[in-house]
């Protein structure tokens, strides 16, 4: 059985959707059935069918199970603000219990690649002192981290990897997304990450004019756990971070 992947980022706008759709597209090339989910989404736009989020729609475009929008993105908020603040304003409950109930359909077969995209960074607040990362830990999903390559990304990436490990989860890979085209010493920063991160680099996404999933997929590789789902994947976490 292929593990469900949870894709998180070092920050908001690090490129989670860009990389997530690229991974789903690449999985489709390998002949897998695919499905993407976006449980929480802020900044949704009103349509005749209700609120819609561009990230969720992009994931749906690379999915072939034909799920309804509400199954892919059960919690939608119009304001482009932190989801827990938007939920409080609307009197809506986004507790771990409600998230669990809304995501009951997530369960992979041996030939299906499923990916769940988070919101913001790893330690996204929910309500009443809960965090989205706690929900991910309860589900025991494996994690892919998108590193938005900009000044400060080394600290953000290492701290996030440490937090994922501390939560008892496996970081199966990370992707460097070149979000700042003017970043100084990009190659040196990339080399530092490749040395310090406790998981393999699944790709380096350069600045692209065409940001379609097809083009992004050309710069990625699938994590070992999707390609070889029957094999155990052991990833060194805290030891290399503390070495």
Nearest-angstrom CA–CA distance, 124 and 49: 28
**Mean of pLDDT values over 209-213:** 96
Give the global pTM.
Answer: 0.92
Nearest-angstrom CA–CA distance, 68 and 54: 15
Band (pLDDT 50/70/90 cuts) for residue 228 is confident
72-87: string of b/e by CB count within 10 Å (b at 16+)? bbbbbbeeeebbbebb
Q: Is residue 210 packed enough to be buried (19+ CB in 10 Å), middle (13-18) or exposed (0-12)?
A: exposed
**Mean of pLDDT values over 128-153:** 97
pLDDT for 224 equals 95
Domain-by-domain residue ranges, the chain?
A: 5-242
CA distances from 107 to 24, 43, 113, 139, 188 (A): 16, 28, 10, 10, 39
**Mean of pLDDT values over 153-169:** 98
Band (pLDDT 50/70/90 cuts) for residue 108 is low
Residue, of 158 and 237, whose pLDDT is higher: 158
Whether 177 contacts 19, CB under 8 Å: yes
What is the token pair recorded at 46?
A: 């009103």
Considering the domain 5-242 in this protein, what is its CATH number?
3.40.50.300
What is the token pair recorded at 104?
A: 């009951």
Band (pLDDT 50/70/90 cuts) for residue 109 is low
- Among 172, 163, 156, 176, which Cα is nearest to 132's? 163
- The catalytic site residues sit at 38
What is the token pair recorded at 125?
A: 């607040």
pLDDT for 236 equals 36
Percent of the chain at pLDDT > 90 equals 86
Band (pLDDT 50/70/90 cuts) for residue 2 is confident
**Mean of pLDDT values over 83-92:** 96
pLDDT for 155 equals 98
Q: What digits encode the pLDDT tens for the residues 4-17?
A: 999 999 999 999 99
**Mean of pLDDT values over 144-161:** 98
Mean pLDDT of the chain: 92
Q: Which helix (H) or strand (E) holds 45?
A: strand 45-47
**Mean of pLDDT values over 70-99:** 96
């Amino acid at each position: 059985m292929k593990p469900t992947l949870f894709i998180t980022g070092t920050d908001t706008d690090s490129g989670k959707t860009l990389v997530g759709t690229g991974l789903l597209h690449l999985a489709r090339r390998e002949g897998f059935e695919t499905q993407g989910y976006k449980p929480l989404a802020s900044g949704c736009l009103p349509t005749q069918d209700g609120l819609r989020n561009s990230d969720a729609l992009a994931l749906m475009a690379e999915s072939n199970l034909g799920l309804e929008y509400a199954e892919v993105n059960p919690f939608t908020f119009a304001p482009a603000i932190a989801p827990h603040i938007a939920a409080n304003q609307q009197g809506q409950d986004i507790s771990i219990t409600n998230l669990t109930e809304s995501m009951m359909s997530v369960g992979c077969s041996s030939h299906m690649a499923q990916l769940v995209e988070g919101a913001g960074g790893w330690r996204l607040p929910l309500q009443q002192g809960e965090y989205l990362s706690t929900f991910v830990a309860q589900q025991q999903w494996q994690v892919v981290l998108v590193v938005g390559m900009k000044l400060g990304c080394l600290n953000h990436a290492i701290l996030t990897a440490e937090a994922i490990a501390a939560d008892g989860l496996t970081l199966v890979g990370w992707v460097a997304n070149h979000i700042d085209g003017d970043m100084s010493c990009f190659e040196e920063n990339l080399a530092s990450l490749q040395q310090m991160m406790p998981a393999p680099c699944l790709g380096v996404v350069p600045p692209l004019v065409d940001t379609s999933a097809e083009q992004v997929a050309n710069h990625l590789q699938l994590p070992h756990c999707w390609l070889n789902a029957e094999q155990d994947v052991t990833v060194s976490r805290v030891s290399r971070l503390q070495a």
